[in-house]
Structure 1
Amino acid sequence: MCHHTQPVTGVPLNSCTSREKTSILQLLTLGMNSHTLPTCRVHHMEGRADPGRVPAAGGRPEEGDEADAEGDGPWPEAGDPRGEVGDFLSLDLGGTNFRVMLVKVGEGDAGQWSVKTKHQMYSIPEDAMTGTAEMLFDYISECISDFLDKHQMKHKKLPLGFTFSFPVRHEDIDKGILLNWTKGFKASGAEGNNIVGLLRDAIKRRGDFEMDVVAMVNDTVATMISCYYEDRQCEVGMIVGTGCNACYMEEMQNVELVEGDEGRMCVNTEWGAFGDSGELDEFLLEYDRMVDESSVNPGQQLYEKLIGGKYMGELVRLVLLKLVDENLLFHGEASEQLRTRGAFETRFVSQVESDSGDRKQIHNILSTLGLRPSVTDCDIVRRACESVSTRAAHMCSAGLAGVINRMRESRSEDVMRITVGVDGSVYKLHPSFKERFHTSVRRLTPNCEITFIESEEGSGRGAALVSAVACKKACMLGQ
């Protein structure tokens, strides 16, 4: 291979020999044409989104106010929070960070509905994620206490909405049984138990504040609800962050788990588990299998592991090690840091692809990993990052296209106009994911006009809006 020792300027990947360049590019195709998977797997994803055909595979309705859907929107008129003003607390647990948010729901000067928010992020320590349920929820309770102290609100008993982004079986709007952990969590004593009950117990143990936990929703549902109040055609919610998931409004006549054929119901697809029964086997590469085998949940959430930010950086690291072993990168020598699992963080993928072209940013990142990259090395690393993130965007587009095509067919519409509310760090922060994803989705949904809107604090705000509706309905029932 050609190696360069001069400063990182101006010598591109094209300076390699034809054989070397061919070998590198073959490795960086990740074993698939970028358009192959979406084309041949869209119909499988349509099946994944079918709550009638595959309820056990993850088509789980979010029971509660969303289930009361009537007409064209996911909320009936009684579900409008505008009549319920006040302060609400929102919690958002779905990845390595935990967010506490104060949401003020009210009316503006002209009588219009308004929402104002303040929030703080807290990192979840590894021992809380992988210890016991009591440890995890005691930590969450500690974060709530800290937030209330800072905002001088410990004296108030606030309604609380809990965004919980893991597979649950909803038994009521404020009761959900955790089916299984994902995204690196494995706190013992939580699976099979009521998550809201665990939170209430932790708050009671702490004893320095009171909270009325009135609702729990999935982050995709909360995102859709939040975006619905910006665009009444929003009937799909999606998260592309640490993990990946989507929800959508299904025709009630297609939902076998509940009675009634009128209106629509929100279905949480939990599509991250797509592939757990072998549907994606032909597309899994050695890197994917290594990531899966070293995860806390081998054999589970395979689709999510191809897309989610928790795994993207590690996939790139494994690709780079393969290139090193083939003597195509870093003179065939990897640093100790590069050989350390998790060392190539997903944020590095975004930073590498954001490089202006002078390769300085790429060089700096690789230097922090104990490497002395040449110009060609920097170019190859960028290609590796682009390959992994592009594949993730196309994989994700297959899922969303399957859901949207199914919705159009169920409604027998020649052309369907729909809005998708999206949240998540990969979608929002990666420099190219969004554009690649949009392009691929639209190519796979030729009879749909799709608008994408980014959720502003969607998960937290959406949970607070659900709480507002729950409080309003409780008051109506009490009258």
Structure 2
Amino acid sequence: MISEYCQNDVKHVVPDIDGTAEQQEAMTSLFHQFNVTTASARTIVKQFMEEMGKGLDHEGATLPMIPSFVTGRPTGSEKGKYLALDLGGTNLRVCEFELKGDGEFSVHQQKYVVAQELKTGEMRHLCDFIADCVDNFITEYGTHHISEKIQLGFTFSFPVNQTDINRGTLMHWTKGFNCNNAINKDVVIMLQDSFLRKNISVNIAALVNDTVGTLMANAYSHPQTSMGIILGTGTNAAYYEKLSNITKWRGGDQVFEEMVVNMEWGAFDLERRVLPMTMYDNKVDRESINPRQQLFEKLISGMYLGEVVRNAVIHLIDQLILFNGESSTGLNEQWGFETAYMSTIVVDETPELEKIRHILEDTLQVPSTTFGDRQLVKSICIAVGRRAARLSACGVAAVLAHTGELEAGANVAIDGSVYEFFPKFQTYLTETLDELFGQEVAQGIKFTLARDGSGFGAAMIAMMAHKAALAKAEK
């Protein structure tokens, strides 16, 4: 249990600002509002573990804890060629991965633009388009023998009720898609039907969640990987769970001991028991398309962090603490302050904070800023980003404490722009784990940046599913 590892609270110093007394007072207040103390982190981890247990026990829990049907672990010695298909935005991406053993692989990939009429037309037309793209890709890049059926992993980045490794029904569309005759239908069967009608020798071996893909992709090069996390526009996590702990599992007699669980952890603390929601977060939540949902995600993911900063900045403008009380059209618009600005602002060490001045005055059209203004905005960005990292660490801590992997060490794969580009994000993660578990345990937790986990992971899972199917057929 986490109580065995807890350390004393660590005191963090509020940064000084060379501005007015009101600005320093505002920064002190904001720092404390956005700070996640060690004591708060312990409480969050404890609640996280409780919610994990509920999600593993029964359907309808706050944390869904969805069985992925992915079992077994890569060894890194696997070889072969597998296709991956990634649909979830403007582009459709088709990739061929060649596994070379020793954790090595190569990739060919091609992007195809999905026209707007395909996103809102008949699902059959979208599937036919995907099949044509795969056919084009195989013709141009593929080196398979014609007699072989190509195994494909399908990353379908929409809400799916998965019922098997290669079966799942679409729950609802997101991201601008709204195809007819698709809801509550099996997306694999619909796409496989297009392959069959067009005489394309492809078998969809796996339907993949991108977080599960991140875990599996990293495990090929680092077989000890036990957890995969997305920290980008959105956030989620997946990890290996003992089947005996998934008490809601109704899969019948199974020969495997563990399965990857898709946590959907962005939904954590729907009841608002422990998350440190500020007035700025509440405003983001109220004005979002899904109020009172995905609260954990709204505190740590790239879609929302810039908006949290913007709300804090606007509040200080209204109090005449920033920019002499003057705002701008850009700052007054929802989502007007992009999360990407935060990274540029935080790393600005120029004498007059010129990069921050450029973003505020030239890009966002704030009439004028003082050095103190720019310092205060930088401090806000640091505080919001640091909180995101510390809350992310709470999720990591809960999983590793639950699985009992702390003493032996753990390898955690992370994909996403927030983790990759926000300055010192990993440092803040490690600091928090150090406070919770002690330095020796924290140093045993290794974080690995796993770019493109959704693509390579889909190919890996297709490989594993295909081998499992062959083994079952031989019995």
| Bucket of the pairwise TM-score, normalised by the shorter protein | 0.7 to 0.9
2:23 match: secondary structure? helix
When normalised by structure 1's length, the TM-score is 0.80
2: CA distance, partners of 1:143 / 1:339? 45
When normalised by structure 2's length, the TM-score is 0.81
Which residue, out of 357, 360, 369, partners 1:363? 357
Change (3 A) 1:128 1:312: farther
Residues 254-309 of structure 1 show CA distances to partners (whole Å, capped at 9, x for unaligned) of 111145696222111111111223334x6222222222222222222111111111
Alignment of 1:280-429 (within 5 A): 280=274, 283-358=276-351, 359-366=353-360, 367-371=362-366, 372-408=368-404, 415-429=407-421
1:321 match: secondary structure? helix
Which residue, out of 229, 241, 244, partners 1:238? 229
1: CA distance, partners of 2:286 / 2:205? 38
Residue matched to 2:10 = none
1: CA distance, partners of 2:312 / 2:118? 31
Comparing 392-401 with 114-123, greater Cα deviation is found at 114-123
Residue matched to 2:430 = 438
1:415 match: secondary structure? coil
Q: Give the drift of 1:25.
A: 2.8
Which residue, out of 137, 153, 164, partners 1:148? 137
Alignment of 1:84-233 (within 5 A): 85-86=80-81, 88-93=82-87, 98=91, 100-107=93-100, 112=102, 114-119=104-109, 134=123, 137=126, 141=130, 144=133, 148=137, 151=140, 158-179=150-171, 187=178, 192-197=184-189, 199-200=191-192, 211-233=202-224
1: CA distance, partners of 2:121 / 2:399? 36
Comparing 258-267 with 436-445, greater Cα deviation is found at 258-267
Contact 1:90 1:102 in 2 (8 A): yes
2: CA distance, partners of 1:432 / 1:210? 47
Residue matched to 1:26 = 29
Cα RMSD (Å): 3.6
Residues 5-30 of structure 1 show CA distances to partners (whole Å, capped at 9, x for unaligned) of xxxxxxx9733332432124313443
2: CA distance, partners of 1:377 / 1:126? 43
1: CA distance, partners of 2:322 / 2:111? 38
Change (3 A) 1:363 1:414: closer
Change (3 A) 1:352 1:20: closer
AA aligned opposite 2:399: V
1:56 match: secondary structure? coil
2: CA distance, partners of 1:232 / 1:164? 25
Q: Give the drift of 1:244.
A: 0.9
Change (3 A) 1:181 1:451: farther
Q: Give the drift of 1:404.
A: 0.7
Could you tell me which runs of 5 or more consecutive residues in structure 2 were left unpaired when the two chains were aligned.
1-14
AA aligned opposite 2:23: E
AA aligned opposite 1:472: K
Change (3 A) 1:276 1:203: farther
Confirm whether residue 453 of structure 1 aligns to residue 448 of structure 2: yes
2: CA distance, partners of 1:150 / 1:334? 55
Aligned residues: 444
Could you tell me which runs of 5 or more consecutive residues in structure 1 were left unpaired when the two chains were aligned.
1-11
2: CA distance, partners of 1:275 / 1:234? 27
2: CA distance, partners of 1:441 / 1:198? 45
2:244 match: secondary structure? helix
Q: Give the drift of 1:175.
A: 1.1
Contact 2:38 2:435 in 1 (8 A): no
2: CA distance, partners of 1:137 / 1:301? 29
2: CA distance, partners of 1:185 / 1:329? 37
Confirm whether residue 467 of structure 1 aligns to residue 462 of structure 2: yes
1: CA distance, partners of 2:158 / 2:408? 30
